[in-house]
């Protein structure tokens, strides 16, 4: 029997092309899995997919975390790119290439991008689009995908999905095809957003709400002390909660989150020549400056919500914690400690507010409300922009809508004369900085 006859008998009924695709996919995936593992802060085991997150079984789309999809999901084009790289460079060089590329994104952004890739894969499955035609995706395919979700999700969601698909193409070094069709599809999606997809506007957090929260907390409690310090600092220093708190207990990263080691109690609280008490500390990461981080400025205020006093109280009652512990950690009865997380913080605050008759608030309300309160108390817009670390005109979006939230503050925190002078202050700031405000907002 000839060799070819033997081979034909062995391969009888075997889809050679599919087997070859699976082999190369697994080969490429091994390198990518090592890259994904090197960037993970802790081991994760993928959960079984939800019913609405299922896709057709394929070695090109292994069951992985959503945040790993942009790296671990591939196509024949991506596999070929991997093979070309490995034919030119050493394994370590290829590993480093993908590792550095993935470092350009944060974990939460990877999760958003992965969600878009999942929806795109589901759409392609439903339309019987072959793997070969999914990358590079044609403009017509991208447009059909975006239009299929018009009226069901927000335009921002569609934009994030497309950004994820774009990055997926970048990872696999293939062309990204867009033209006027996709541009107008995206504009149409924006106009067809259903009211249910739009986030309802939340009222700002007022000083009255902060006082109610403070009264609902126990100043002798390790946990409540961490809650109260976080509240007052986030409000008066115009911080984003993600800058001070970790998202979950197992996601602390020294490169992104502040720890006790940067804030020694003995020398972080200072007084200047004008007898003003203040404190500042450096956080390693922000949404705008990213790895450069920034300095958070805390100034004494003669009020029950004084961030200077609440921070000192927190560091005093929650002393003797490991220097590596997140800054807003608290002691437990068994003499161990626990890090305060953003979900836990918001859950506790909203429990007290809802019981007192206030609406449930989102985390970003602190950033907006603190800036608004400072403005209404007559603090210069330039100083508020510096305190909130705004680098763009996006800050004006809060100010342009200030007429809708003024009544919520006037009765509890600001004098009428101060509020009446606010328009003139804002106009002077806009003129001095040569900023442009849309007519509809002025």
Query: Residue 392: which CATH number?
Result: 1.10.443
Task: Average the pLDDT over each of 112-116, 222-226, 396-400 and give the range with the smallest value.
Answer: 396-400
Task: Average the pLDDT over each of 31-45, 61-75, 194-208, 370-384 and give the range with the smallest value.
Answer: 31-45
Residues 241 and 348 in one domain: yes
Phi-psi region at 320: left, alpha or beta (left = phi > 0; alpha = psi -120 to 50): left
Query: Does 86 score more than 60 pLDDT?
Result: yes
Residues 151 and 217 in one domain: no
Assigned domain for 93 exists: yes
Residues 392 and 340 in one domain: yes
Provide the pLDDT for residue 346: 96
Residues 107 and 255 in one domain: no
Residues 192 and 221 in one domain: no
Confidence of residue 42 (pLDDT cuts 50, 70, 90): very low
Q: Tell me, yes or no, if the pTM score tops 0.75.
A: no
Query: Does 84 score more than 80 pLDDT?
Result: yes
Query: Does 442 score more than 50 pLDDT?
Result: no
Assigned domain for 9 exists: no
Confidence of residue 316 (pLDDT cuts 50, 70, 90): very high
The residue range of the domain holding 387 is 207-413
State which of 164, 197, 230 marks the end of a domain: 197
Read off the pLDDT of residues 291-303 as tens digits, 9 standing for 90 and up: 888 899 999 999 9
Residues 57 and 169 in one domain: yes
Q: And the tokens for 4? A: 């070819």
Query: Does 52 score more than 80 pLDDT?
Result: no
Order of strands across the sheet that contains 277-283: 269-271, 277-283, 294-299
State which of 146, 173, 197 marks the end of a domain: 197
Task: Average the pLDDT over each of 300-304, 315-319, 408-412 and give the range with the smallest value.
Answer: 408-412
**Gyration radius from the chain CA atoms:** 27
Confidence of residue 383 (pLDDT cuts 50, 70, 90): confident
Confidence of residue 3 (pLDDT cuts 50, 70, 90): low
Task: Average the pLDDT over each of 20-29, 82-91, 305-314, 419-428 and give the range with the smallest value.
Answer: 20-29
Read off the pLDDT of residues 240-285 as tens digits, 9 standing for 90 and up: 998 999 988 888 888 888 998 877 655 677 787 777 888 888 999 8
Residues 393 and 366 in one domain: yes
Beta bridge partners of 299: 278
* Cis, peptide link before residue 312, omega less than 30° from 0: no
Confidence of residue 19 (pLDDT cuts 50, 70, 90): very low
Which of 123, 27, 126, 122 lies closest to 78, judged by CA? 27
Assigned domain for 442 exists: no
Provide the pLDDT for residue 12: 56
Distance between CA atoms of 229 and 252, rounded to whole angstroms? 19
Assigned domain for 11 exists: no
Average pLDDT over residues 139-148: 96
Place of tokens 């922000």: 286
Residues 140 and 250 in one domain: no
Q: And the tokens for 170? A: 């970048």
Provide the pLDDT for residue 377: 81
Higher per-residue pLDDT: 230 or 400: 230
Provide the pLDDT for residue 200: 60
Tally the domains of the chain.
2
Alpha helices (runs of H) in 15-106, residue ranges in sequence order:
16-39, 69-72, 76-88, 91-103
Please give the DSSP secondary-structure letter assigned to residue 360: P
Task: Average the pLDDT over each of 69-78, 333-342, 375-384, 417-426 and give the range with the smallest value.
Answer: 417-426
Residues 172 and 217 in one domain: no
Average pLDDT taken over every residue of the chain:
81
Read off the pLDDT of residues 323-361 as tens digits, 9 standing for 90 and up: 899 999 999 988 899 999 999 999 999 999 999 998 899
Residues 165 and 226 in one domain: no
Query: Does 425 score more than 50 pLDDT?
Result: yes
Assigned domain for 158 exists: yes
Distance between CA atoms of 254 and 337, rounded to whole angstroms? 17
Confidence of residue 237 (pLDDT cuts 50, 70, 90): very high
Place of tokens 């697994």: 26
Assigned domain for 223 exists: yes
Share of the chain above pLDDT 90, in %: 38
State which of 178, 197, 216 marks the end of a domain: 197
Assigned domain for 88 exists: yes
Average pLDDT over residues 1-20: 51
Residues 310 and 171 in one domain: no
In order, the DSSP letters of 352-398 are: HHHHTTPPP--TTHHHHHHHHHHHHTT--HHHHHHHTT--STTHHHH
Assigned domain for 379 exists: yes
Backbone φ and ψ of 246, nearest 5°: -90, 155
Provide the pLDDT for residue 355: 95
Read off the pLDDT of residues 159-190 as tens digits, 9 standing for 90 and up: 999 999 999 999 999 999 888 899 999 999 99
Provide the pLDDT for residue 109: 84
Residues 232 and 274 in one domain: yes
């Amino acid at each position: 029997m000839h060799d070819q006859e033997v081979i034909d008998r062995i391969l009888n009924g075997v889809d050679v092309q599919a087997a070859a695709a699976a082999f190369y996919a697994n080969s490429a995936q091994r390198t990518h899995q090592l890259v994904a593992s090197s960037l993970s802060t802790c081991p994760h085991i993928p959960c079984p997919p939800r019913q609405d997150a299922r896709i057709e079984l394929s070695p090109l789309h292994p069951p992985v975390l959503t945040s790993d999809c942009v790296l671990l999901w591939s196509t024949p084009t991506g596999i070929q790119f991997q093979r070309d790289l490995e034919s030119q460079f050493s394994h370590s060089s290829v590993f480093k290439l993908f590792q550095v590329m993935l470092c350009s994104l944060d974990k939460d952004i990877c999760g958003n991008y992965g969600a878009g890739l999942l929806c795109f894969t589901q759409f392609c499955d439903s339309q019987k689009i072959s793997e070969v035609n999914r990358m590079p995706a044609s403009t017509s395919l991208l447009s059909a995908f975006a239009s299929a979700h018009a009226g069901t999700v927000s335009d921002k969601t569609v934009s994030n999905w497309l950004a994820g698909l774009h990055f997926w193409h970048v990872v696999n070094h293939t062309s990204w095809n867009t033209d006027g069709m996709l541009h107008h599809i995206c504009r149409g999606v924006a106009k067809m957003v259903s009211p249910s997809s739009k986030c309802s506007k939340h009222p700002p957090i007022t000083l009255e709400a902060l006082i109610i929260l403070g009264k609902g907390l126990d100043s002798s409690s390790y946990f409540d002390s961490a809650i109260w310090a976080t509240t007052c600092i986030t409000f008066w220093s115009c911080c984003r909660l993600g800058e001070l708190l970790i998202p979950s207990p197992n996601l602390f990263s020294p490169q992104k989150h502040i720890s006790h080691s940067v804030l020694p109690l003995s020398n972080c609280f200072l007084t200047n020549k004008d007898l003003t008490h203040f404190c500042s500390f450096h956080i390693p990461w922000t949404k705008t400056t990213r790895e450069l981080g920034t300095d958070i400025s805390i100034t004494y205020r003669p009020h029950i919500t004084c961030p200077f006093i609440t921070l000192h109280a927190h560091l005093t009652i929650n002393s003797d914690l490991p220097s590596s512990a997140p800054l807003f950690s608290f002691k437990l009865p068994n003499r161990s400690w626990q890090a305060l997380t953003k979900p836990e913080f918001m859950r506790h605050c909203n429990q007290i507010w809802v019981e007192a008759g206030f609406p449930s608030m989102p985390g970003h309300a602190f950033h907006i409300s603190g800036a608004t309160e400072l403005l209404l108390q007559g603090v210069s817009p330039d100083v508020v922009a510096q305190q909130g670390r705004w680098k763009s005109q996006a800050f004006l979006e809060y100010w342009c809508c200030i007429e809708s939230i003024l009544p919520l503050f006037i009765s509890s925190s600001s004098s009428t004369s101060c509020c009446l002078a606010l328009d003139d202050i804002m106009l002077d700031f806009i003129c001095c900085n040569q900023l442009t405000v849309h007519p509809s907002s002025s």
